[in-house]
A and B are shown apart, each in its own frame.
Chain A
Amino acid sequence: MTSLQPMKEENIMKTRILTLFAILLVVATVSSAQEKLSKEEWQSQITQYTSQRDNLKAELATLTKEVDVLRSTLASLDRQIQAVRDETIAMTGANDATRKDFETRLKALEDRVAALLPLSNQDLYVRRFEVDSVQAVKDNMMKERIADAEQYYLRLQKIQSNIDNLRETLATVKTVAAEEQHYVVRSWSKYHDCLWNISKKQQIYDSPFLWPKIWQANRDQIKDPDIIRIGEHLKIPPAAGLTTAEKRAEQKYWSQKHS
């Protein structure tokens, strides 16, 4: 009895292992069979994809035709626009050479004005005579008959508007330069007055980097630009870029400060 018991248990174990193996085999085989495409499914997919392909081909053909028509319309519109523009120029009596010359000069004028627009107030003040120059060029161009062509007329109007803006800015700068000839130093504790901050004030230079200008204009009072006294009357020169002497003084100041 005692020797038969382990043999029986061994048989049960073998049967269980084999059952498990068989179940796994069946599951694997059936699932593999399910993954495979049946003939009917293949046929169905072939029909479905063939129909989809045919529809797409038809859609592509329609789109290609529409794109061709649009391209042709675009080219036709380009020709019409050019013809109208040419007719307009011809109405002013200008020929092709006159038109090209005028366009070149107009573009150059636009570029000159555009270069003045982003300047700071100080730099614009320095180059204020250029504003008068572009105004003269614009006025002369307006006298030409071709300037009556609307496309050029509009561009010249735009140039005039920009010149007007430049003049307005210059008027402000000149007013400030005329009025702010002196500045009375106030306390650091309350007003943070120092050459840098005074120069930065909008009514002075609107730029802290022009502080050497104030320093150099007041050498009699300011020995050390780091020290200014409350109540000192500082001369404020007109707004402009730093002169060579002012730049040199600034460089000397920084090199001494860093040494």
Chain B
Amino acid sequence: MKGLRNITLILLLAGSAALYSGCSSGPSADELAQLDQLKSEVESLKKEVAAKEAEKASLETQVKQKKDDLATAENNQKLTQERLKSQQ
């Protein structure tokens, strides 16, 4: 008799736990899909930003190099002018 009572109590406890977890409110499947899509959109944007930053860094280096080249070309022009003058 005591055994039967224990078994009933245990099953009742387990049943109520299952009922509790099953009945708690959560997002729908559509809402979860919306969240997943948002997450993947964020990941994709992060990659795009990283690629753009790398491109920007590369272009900045190139611009710096070209500015040096321009300064060299201008200096070369000045030196050429002086050399031509000295020969006249």
| Chain A residues within 8 Å of B, Cβ to Cβ | 11-12, 14-15, 18-19, 22, 25-26, 29-30, 32-33, 36-39, 42, 45-46, 49-50, 52-53, 56-57, 59-60, 63-64, 66-67, 70-71, 73-74, 77-78, 80-81, 84-85, 87-88, 91-92, 148-151, 153-154
Contact = CB atoms under 8 A, between A and B. Distances in A.
Contacts of A154: 76
- Chain B interface: which size bin? 35 or more
B56 to A, nearest CB: 5
A148 B73 contact: no
A33 B49 contact: no
A6 to B, nearest CB: 14
Given A15-B3, A70-B56, A53 B41 contact: yes
Interface in B57-80: 59-60, 62-63, 66-67, 69-70, 73-77, 79-80
A16 B24 CA distance: 30
A106 to B, nearest CB: 15
A151 B76 contact: yes
A80 B21 CA distance: 72
Contact of A91 (B21, B26, B81): B81
Contacts of A22: 10-11, 13-14
Contact of B27 (A19, A37, A64, A84): A37
Nearest to A11: B3
A110 to B, nearest CB: 18
Q: Which of A63, A64, A77, A150 lies at the interface centre, i.e. has the most chain B CB atoms within 10 A of its CB?
A: A150
Nearest to B9: A22
Given A26-B14, A42-B26, A91-B80, A70 B45 contact: no
A74 B26 contact: no
B70 A149 contact: no
Contacts of B31: 42
Given A29-B21, A42-B31, A73-B63, A85 B26 contact: no
A77 B70 contact: yes
Contact of A37 (B32, B67, B74, B81): B32
B13 A53 contact: no
Given A30-B17, A73-B63, A92-B80, 4 more contacts: A12-B3, A25-B17, A85-B76, A148-B83
Contacts of B62: 74
A42 B42 contact: no
B32 to A, nearest CB: 7
A183 B57 CA distance: 64
A46 B6 CA distance: 46
